[in-house]
Amino acid sequence: MTSSATLPAILVVTTGGTIDKQYFDALSEYQIVESVIGELLETARVAHPFRIVELLRKDSLELTDEDRALIAATVADAPETLVVITHGTDTMTQTAAALAHLEGKTVVLCGALAPARFAQSDAAFNLGMAFATCQAAQPGVWITMSGSVFDGLKVRKDREAGKFLPI
């Protein structure tokens, strides 16, 4: 059995998106607040070593090329080779494309179709899939959503169906 001290740490980069949205009252819209990812990992009793960097708090539709460059630089400069990025689903594939040039890193993007703070959210499952995928997949960029693992450069979001499909 391998001790957790010898396992390579996973870097978790939070960027916002639905996974970190909160609804305050009936008159307000969702707002992206402090990330709940650490709490999800604690609740799931994740024993694998990880480090969280709360990088952005944006809806993915508001992400700019500069934001994507910041995400890529953060991943490139990190000592970790295993990376999970929580991200809004609308532009997740654009960010995946912006990370395609990185070498020697296994990067997995995940998000949620319902905020993690909702009891009926897919957030915890998608995050768990991302943790498993980054440990098992070859270096490259991957997306895990709704129980599937996709090549991050060969997938699209079907907004009407509310799911990702391979291309």
Bridge partners of 145, per DSSP, are 148
Q: pTM of the predicted model, to two decimals?
A: 0.91
As a whole number of angstroms, the distance between CA 3 and CA 67 comes to 36
User: Of residues 59 and 31, which shows the higher confidence score?
Assistant: 59
Q: What is the dihedral of CA 159, 160, 163, 167, to 10 degrees?
A: -70
pLDDT for 120: 85
pLDDT tens for 102-132 read: 999 999 999 998 888 888 889 999 999 999 9
Architecture (CATH level 2) of domain 15-152: 3-Layer(aba) Sandwich (3.40)
| Joined tokens for residue 20 | 């970190």
